[in-house]
Structure 1
Amino acid sequence: MGMTIAEKILAAHSGHDMVVPGQLIECATDWVLCHEITTPAALRMLEERGMDKVFNSDQIVAIPDHSVPAMNIKAAQMYQKLKSWVIKNGIKHFYDVGRGGIAHVVLENTGLAKPGQTLVSGDSHTCNAGALGMFATGVGSTDLAGAIYAGKVWFKVPETMLIRVTGTFKEGVSAKDLALEVIRRIDADGANYMVMEWVGDTIDNLDMEARFTLTNMAIEAGGKTGIIAVDDTTRAYMAARNVTPDQYTEYTSDPDAKYKIVIDIDVNELQPTVAFPHIPSNGRVAGADKVKVTHAYVGSCTNGRISDLREVARILKGNTVAEGVQMLVVPATQQVWKQAAQEGLMEIFVDAGATVSYPSCGACLGMHTGVLGPNDVCISSTNRNFVGRMGDPSAEIYLASPATVAASAIAGYISDPREYNTVASPVVSSAD
């Protein structure tokens, strides 16, 4: 019986020739990703049990990103806890404030995480790295503690959902719209504890930044992770980070691999999509309902990359954010911030009336810099629109692509980005 990509990776990391869905395995972790919010709880568990050590200081990546620079004393203490632990244990891969940004986007660009590997973190959007052809997933603080201490995690082997995507994106449509459409079709728990494997000619033609958007949102459908097989685009992306094919393992799904569900999507028919409150599966065509907005947010591990900012800048150039709308742009990393500045994007944002902030997750989860107040209405390029996600429980969050966010910021209400004669970001170089 054949195996999927995910099953092959899990088999290789658990000492089995073959694994099957539902099987309980002890899986070795190649990488453990830590940030200042969930890691301190895991560290306290280890300290209380006299197990305060790391399995391998070279296989842990630490990136403070949720509440940095610290917004209050408690946030400062959590940052201090992470940093002191990093120093004490000689953690080699530490991307401190001023040198990092949003952890998932920083990690994807380091060249550390590689195809065929495993990655765990105390953050649900760890599935982001699945675009590299690796098994990456979020875990709770207890499992995170175990991974830090022993370099192993217990998994129940997940079933896999196959998503076949064909066709060419029309003007104004992007990978974010595709992710929202799939979630709309299968519902917010339609991929519960499954691997979402993306295939098809549309996926083959996507750049890596668009692929990361797709795998990033697996958790919004209840998925364990998302994954995309390695191809020339992946190889070029790794090569640009000085990683050669002999440093990683490529896995492909067997022709007779078993899938729990198979979904076919034709993007020729796809339109700009907005997920209405309060769940990512509540998708509707952008602009069909002209909902007035008070806030517009571009950023997060889903859509804060340079291609996203370029797309927003193309729409904002020569336009102005509507009166009464507060627009916030948050580059995902310091490198993205720098590149956007070099390309003149920052000037476009400022001239249009948008605010640009330090790379962090703060606004995405209502923790820092951009928190929504009572009855605010935000059009956001993030991944979740749950009640209270970005601030006050009465605030409403509408999820959309960066293009739709920009168009809506200019209009003052949720708008179809095609009205601004824009196109989806071009396929940027894998080395970009």
Structure 2
Amino acid sequence: MGTLIEEIFSRKSGRAVNAGEILLLDVDYIMSHDNTTPLAIKAFREIGKPILDKNRVVLHLDHAYPAPNVLAAENHRKIFDFVKEQELPHFFQQGVCHQVMIEEGFVTPGSIVIGADSHSNTYGAMGAFGTGLGSTEIGVAWVTGKCWFKVPETIRVELHGRTQRGVYAKDVMIHIAGLLGMDGGTYRSVEFGGEYIDSLPLHERIIFPNMSTEIGAKCGLIAADQVTLDYLENETPARGKGPFEQIRPVNPRYERVLELDVSPLAPQVACHPDVDNVKPLEQVEGLEVQQVYIGTCTNARYEDLEIVANMLKGKKVDPYTRVIVTPASARIYK
């Protein structure tokens, strides 16, 4: 019995576990991308042992793709050669790694997915444990199929109410970052729940675990429910691989509980220099903007782009403002 992270780790370890314990657990998938895979390959070569299970290794080209410089091109070449040499089955060049991991069905409730990227926390939106690790740890996990974890304490964020028109999940998460601070969740599991979370579609839920990274969290988690299962069944290759367990906290003991009514929130802005320097949009109204980027692993799904398209319909971009739009994956672009 315990928090969501304790419940997930208990199932993986085969016994009840508590915050503070150190565990050696099997991992389901090991993700890395073009910026981090070359160092993982280096660590793997130094170990000198074979990959334990090639089906668990998932590689992506997305951070510097197409290659913007010679160094990036050389890294891509190393990765291509490694994929061919090792005959790795999961190699993607179709968008932001975290979005593709979810779309391709690698992330399922109760699974453990480690990634050589700080926003691997994103996978918690599916009721999975996802966390970012260094490239050396990724190379070691290729060989062992395991990783050490310290079971984190949990901060519960309970969200109530309904947002006003023009206020979205990212506004809520930015506000939470302002309340907790950029180190307020350091090595904690941040567990998001409440009626507001329950009402959200998956593309908005993703924002909360994804941005738990910005407050230092080890992971961000949302318990899997019917919304999660419907997405897996209807939108991913995971269809038919269930049934998937809807793991939930059981008589949890939280280190801290933050309760928030989202109803009065206005649109929020994270201002320079840190993500926790948060202000309502009205306080920065009129500030000149030179560049707008619509994308990232947080907000580049079809629904996000639709919101922006509706806002811009019938309008023109200011000639002195650069606007870049990058869908999160090839599937979203199509």
TM class, shorter-chain normalised? over 0.9
What letter is aligned with 1:9? I
Find the partner of 1:199 among 193, 211, 214: 193
What letter is aligned with 2:97? A
TM-score normalised over the length of structure 2:
0.96
**Paired residues for 1:166-245 under 5 Å:** 166-240=160-234, 241=236, 242-244=238-240
Local SS of the residue matching 1:26: strand
Q: How many residues align?
A: 331
Local SS of the residue matching 1:108: helix
CA RMSD in angstroms, aligned pairs only: 1.2
Give the Å deviation of 1:16.
Answer: 4.2
Local SS of the residue matching 2:282: coil
Give the Å deviation of 1:112.
Answer: 2.2
**Paired residues for 1:383-394 under 5 Å:** none
What letter is aligned with 1:7? E
- Contact preservation (8 Å) 2:98, 2:120: yes
Q: What's the counterpart of residue 3 of structure 1?
A: 2
Aligned CA distance change for structure 1 residues 66 and 270 (closer, same or farther; 3 Å): same
Local SS of the residue matching 1:302: coil
- Cα distance in 2 for partners of 1:138, 1:75 equals 21
Q: What's the counterpart of residue 282 of structure 1?
A: 277
Aligned CA distance change for structure 1 residues 149 and 16 (closer, same or farther; 3 Å): same
Ranges in structure 1 where 5+ consecutive residues have no aligned partner? 339-432
Q: What's the counterpart of residue 273 of structure 1?
A: 268
Q: What's the counterpart of residue 293 of structure 1?
A: 289
- The list of structure 1 runs, each at least 4 consecutive aligned residues, that deviate by more than 4 angstroms after superposition, is none
- Contact preservation (8 Å) 1:65, 1:103: yes
Find the partner of 2:324 among 321, 328, 351: 328
- Cα distance in 1 for partners of 2:302, 2:63 equals 20
Q: What's the counterpart of residue 82 of structure 2?
A: 85
- Contact preservation (8 Å) 1:35, 1:82: no
- Contact preservation (8 Å) 1:238, 1:244: no
Deviations 1:328-353 (CA, angstroms, capped at 9, x unpaired): 11111111111xxxxxxxxxxxxxxx
Q: What's the counterpart of residue 57 of structure 2?
A: 60
- Cα distance in 1 for partners of 2:276, 2:174 equals 7
TM-score normalised over the length of structure 1:
0.75
Q: Percent identity?
A: 32
Give the Å deviation of 1:12.
Answer: 2.3
- Contact preservation (8 Å) 1:132, 1:229: yes
What letter is aligned with 1:281? D
Is 1:76 matched up with 2:70?
A: no
- Cα distance in 1 for partners of 2:117, 2:245 equals 25
- Contact preservation (8 Å) 2:294, 2:300: yes
- Cα distance in 1 for partners of 2:74, 2:83 equals 14
- Cα distance in 1 for partners of 2:252, 2:47 equals 42
Is 1:151 matched up with 2:162?
A: no
Give the Å deviation of 1:235.
Answer: 1.1
**Paired residues for 1:371-390 under 5 Å:** none
Deviations 1:375-405 (CA, angstroms, capped at 9, x unpaired): xxxxxxxxxxxxxxxxxxxxxxxxxxxxxxx
Give the Å deviation of 1:29.
Answer: 0.4
More relative contact order, 1 or 2 (CA 8 Å, 6+ apart): 2
- Contact preservation (8 Å) 1:300, 1:332: yes
- Contact preservation (8 Å) 2:44, 2:142: no
- Cα distance in 2 for partners of 1:42, 1:260 equals 35
Ranges in structure 2 where 5+ consecutive residues have no aligned partner? none
Q: What's the counterpart of residue 23 of structure 1?
A: 21
